[in-house]
Amino acid sequence: MQIIKPTIMAKMSAALGLAALLCAGAGAQTYPAKPIRFVVPFAPGGTAEIVGRVIGQELQKHIGQTVIVELKPGAGGNIGAEMVAHSEPDGYTLLLGSSSLASNVSLMKMNFDPRKDLIAVAGISMVPNILVVGSNSPYKTMADLLAAAKAQPGKLTFGSSGPGTSSHLSGELFKSVTGADILHVPYKGSGQVYPDLIAGRVDMLFDLQGSALYQIGGGKVRPLATSAARRSQALPDVPTIAELGYPGYENGSWLGIMAPAGTPADVVAKIEAAAAKSLQAKDVRERIEQIGGQPIPVDTNGFAQYFENDILRWQKLVESGSLKPMQ
Chain segment 7-17, per-residue pLDDT in tens? 554 555 555 55
Residue 19: alpha-carbon gap to chain centroid: 41
Angle (nearest 5°) at CA 314 between 118 and 203: 110
CATH of 128-244, one of 3.20.20.80, 3.20.20.70, 3.40.50.11540, 3.40.190.10: 3.40.190.10
Residue 327 binned pLDDT confidence (cut-offs 50, 70, 90): low
Report d(CA 223, CA 58) in Å as an integer. 32
State the chain's mean pLDDT as an integer. Answer: 90
Report d(CA 300, CA 303) in Å as an integer. 5
Mean pLDDT, range 126-136, rounded to an integer:
95
Report d(CA 298, CA 207) in Å as an integer. 24
> Strands 183-186, 93-98: parallel, antiparallel or unpaired by DSSP?
unpaired
What percentage of residues in the chain have a pLDDT greater than 70? 91
Report d(CA 181, CA 47) in Å as an integer. 28
Rg of the chain on CA atoms, in Å? 23
Q: Where are the domains of the chain?
A: 34-126+253-319, 128-244
Mean pLDDT, range 309-319, rounded to an integer:
91
Mean pLDDT, range 74-87, rounded to an integer:
92
**pLDDT tens, position by position, 158-215:** 999 888 888 999 999 999 899 999 999 999 888 899 999 999 999 999 998 988 998 9
- Same topology for domains 34-126+253-319 and 128-244, yes or no? yes
- pLDDT value at 273 more than 90: yes
Q: What pLDDT sits at residue 3?
A: 47
- pTM here is 0.78
- pLDDT value at 309 more than 50: yes
* 34-126+253-319: in CATH 3.40.190.150: yes
One-letter amino acid for residue 94 of the chain: L
Mean pLDDT, range 250-278, rounded to an integer:
96
Report d(CA 147, CA 245) in Å as an integer. 14
**pLDDT tens, position by position, 24-44:** 444 456 999 999 999 999 888
- CB-side exposure of 169: number of CA atoms within 13 Å? 30
Pick from 78, 95, 275: nearest CA to 161 = 78
- pLDDT value at 5 more than 80: no
- pLDDT value at 82 more than 60: yes
One-letter amino acid for residue 326 of the chain: M
